[in-house]
Structure 1
Amino acid sequence: MTLAASIPADRTMPGDLRSARDALAQAVARGEERLAELRADRSPEHRERAHAVHESLRALRARFAGAHAEAVYDLLTEGRTRYLWLGELVEAAAEAFPGLLPSRERLDAERALPQAAKEGHEIDQGIFLRAVLRSPVAGPHLLDAQLRPTPRALRLLPDFLRTGVAEMEAVRVERVGGTARLTMCRGDRLNAEDERQVDDMETAVDLALLDPGVRVGLVRGGEMTHPRYKGRRVFSAGINLKYLGAGNIPLVGFLLRRELGYIHKLLRGVLVELSGQWRSRYLEKPWVAAVEGFAIGGGAQLLLVFDHVVAAADTYVSLPAAKEGIVPGVANLRLTRFAGPRLSRQVILQGRRIHAAEPGARLLIDEVVEPGDMDAAVERSLARLAGDAVLANRRMLNLADEPPDAFRAYMAEFALQQALRLYDEDVVHKAGRFGAVAP
């Protein structure tokens, strides 16, 4: 039985919500019939008409979500007594409210297509999630739901506690003394991120946070096998643009999960419900980043949540959002705190690179050392962050720098704007140039 099927909707759904649901379903069904007719002829005129139908249906969904998202969320989570992952939530909403969101089958069918051939059904997910995150009641509950340890991490935890090592395809995590050392090891693709990388990173972060023997975490790129950088450490090349062009960078499973999952956990910690744990609901640790080679795009975004960043003098940081055409995660919110509005616009809107050796880099990087001195500098920073008073002060700094409601408001708009960018013509054209690859 599916999650939505387990909800006795006729008994628990308020009458006004049921009426609105039925009216939406009927309107969308009529619109889908019209779209089916237009798909038979892919002439420019018919494509323009299909676009107008999609726009009309999305306006209906936006009105429904704006009025009822909180009630829908309460229904699907049984009055916020259940936590749902993002994927579970949108799937349950699609089943319980026909026409509101694309079905799992429709998304699976589109997943097989390159980005240029898709119709943009993920935009409907962005519309719904924006409304949920905007809610001061449903939004915080949804954020907490994504801060839980993943089932995969919980399965691996007993072995990790025993051995101190977890080997995954994209990340290796090892406990050495009181440090969890996370090494990104996609050596053939310069640690470019895809769903595998995000899942492995979240698992590794969960393990580090859940292990009582860990006092501080380290994230570092491993040695590359890529021909141009063979034998050298590289931090991250950002989003895998080949996968984006091939249609394998989903909104929910990658772009939103990444921000609301492991990156948010690096900042806030992992949510645990333990008896007697009254001081905080979150287990958190301080984190160090060691940057070699470069931190591009998503790699640069990561640096904005670390407590200490050490970089080799020959590295650079960049956020080529204008080149790629998408929104660089939460960097638009966080970078201005570090670098100020002018430099942030230069980096995000104009593609300026920040080289570690230039003075402006000290706004993003705490410590710049010669490549041969990286190991020693990293160890010094780990020792400093293992102090007893670090956690309490870190928590208060993060609360002042990025209040949870500010993050929630940003992510609400990000959910829609990123979905829209994924299907805009300029992104489709740029991503298509990188060619298709198998998922």
Structure 2
Amino acid sequence: MSEEVLVSVADGVLEVTINRPEARNAMSKAVAEGISAAMDRLEAENDLRCAILTGAGGTFCSGMDLKGFLAGEMPIVPGRGFGGLTDWTPKKPVIAAVDGFALAGGMELALACDMIVAHTDAKFGIPEAKRGLVAGGGGVVHLPRLLPRQLAMELALTGDPITAQRAYELGLVNRVTDGPAIEAARALARTIAENGPLAVAASKAIIRDSWLWDVAELNAKQGPYIAAVFMSEDAREGATAFAQKRKPEWKGK
């Protein structure tokens, strides 16, 4: 894996760090491939319960590396999109820990994660229009689903950023912290990692996939997602641990 992406593991949480601080962590092809490879590891290793995606040097990601773009490089992984994450999602949760700027593709990358924790001084925006471009990594299609249309329009057409607090008020950010975003993200990740992994994965899948379901089919369509969970060893272990007033020992099966 490229040194432009650093990976570490602690307490069942995979931490993935974009390591191009000299370029404000602008997305290169190598970084996109590194993030994609890290997500493969998240999927493959049963002991990993969730991931945190962050940036080195006080910035999350300033978007596409325009120097690379001018040289003909696109920071996209086939089938996975910008940064290896905007066109798909792993089964396990991914938390974005945002310090500094999450701009253009950087904001789209954060939105591709399942949750966002941000430092109070962080800024979010899709300034592509200021550069004659369009936020094609999901910004102009996902923001209207997450925000009132008028607010999505403002972000896309002005290109102006918003603060972490404003993003929190709009429901784009889960938590705002005065300390490093990674610390608050670790606390959130630890809480998730303590829960049943099958239940977490099924819950994530239903929340994401149900965006496309007809309202009349919601209860029926979730059935296949949860049937295996209720029949699992983990479900029995969870109930037994509760009765015995102890911490459950999850097996992921």
With normalisation by structure 2, the TM-score equals: 0.75
Alignment of 1:318 with 2:143, yes or no, is no
Match of 2:59 in 1: 234
Tell me the alpha carbon deviations over residues 51-108 of structure 1, each in whole angstroms, 9 at most, x when there is no partner: xxxxxxxxxxxxxxxxxxxxxxxxxxxxxxxxxxxxxxxxxxxxxxxxxxxxxxxxxx
CA distance in 1, matches of 2:66, 2:118: 25
Alignment of 1:248 with 2:72, yes or no, is yes
Match of 1:355 in 2: 163
Alignment of 1:13-412 (within 5 A): 168-223=2-57, 233-245=58-70, 247-250=71-74, 254=76, 259=81, 262-264=84-86, 267=89, 269=90, 284-328=91-135, 329-358=137-166, 361-370=169-178, 372=179, 374-386=181-193, 387-388=195-196, 389-401=199-211
Instruction: Give the gaps of 5 or more residues in structure 1.
Output: 1-166, 224-232, 270-283, 404-439
Aligned length: 209
Instruction: Give the gaps of 5 or more residues in structure 2.
Output: 214-253
Change (3 A) 1:311 1:360: closer
Is the partner of 1:235 in helix, strand or coil? coil
Tell me by how many angstroms 1:400 deviates.
1.4
Tell me by how many angstroms 1:402 deviates.
5.2
Contact 2:77 2:84 in 1 (8 A): no
CA distance in 2, matches of 1:384, 1:175: 16
Change (3 A) 1:398 1:345: same
Q: State the AA in 1 paired with 2:20.
A: R
CA distance in 2, matches of 1:186, 1:213: 28
Q: State the AA in 2 paired with 1:254.
A: I
Is the partner of 1:304 in helix, strand or coil? helix
Is the partner of 2:96 in helix, strand or coil? strand
CA distance in 1, matches of 2:131, 2:16: 28
Contact 1:205 1:266 in 2 (8 A): no
Tell me by how many angstroms 1:201 deviates.
1.5
Tell me the alpha carbon deviations over residues 330-352 of structure 1, each in whole angstroms, 9 at most, x when there is no partner: 22221112122111111111112
Is the partner of 2:118 in helix, strand or coil? strand
Change (3 A) 1:378 1:359: closer
Q: State the AA in 2 paired with 1:183.
A: T
Contact 1:171 1:197 in 2 (8 A): yes
CA distance in 1, matches of 2:207, 2:107: 20
CA distance in 1, matches of 2:46, 2:173: 29
Is the partner of 2:108 in helix, strand or coil? helix
Contact 2:80 2:88 in 1 (8 A): no
Tell me by how many angstroms 1:376 deviates.
4.0
CA distance in 2, matches of 1:256, 1:345: 28
Is the partner of 1:174 in helix, strand or coil? strand
Contact 1:355 1:361 in 2 (8 A): no
Tell me the alpha carbon deviations over residues 225-274 of structure 1, each in whole angstroms, 9 at most, x when there is no partner: xxxxxxxx2100101112223x3234xx738655178215752x2xxxxx
CA distance in 2, matches of 1:235, 1:191: 7
CA distance in 1, matches of 2:15, 2:42: 9
Q: State the AA in 2 paired with 1:357.
A: Q
Change (3 A) 1:170 1:359: closer
Change (3 A) 1:313 1:260: closer
CA distance in 2, matches of 1:302, 1:382: 18
Contact 2:43 2:92 in 1 (8 A): yes
Tell me by how many angstroms 1:359 deviates.
6.4
Change (3 A) 1:357 1:378: same
More helix, by proportion: 1
Tell me the alpha carbon deviations over residues 186-231 of structure 1, each in whole angstroms, 9 at most, x when there is no partner: 12211101211211111122112211110011001112xxxxxxxx
Deviates more, 1:376-385 or 1:357-366: 357-366
More strand, by proportion: 2
Contact 1:198 1:258 in 2 (8 A): no
CA distance in 1, matches of 2:157, 2:104: 13
Contact 1:172 1:185 in 2 (8 A): yes
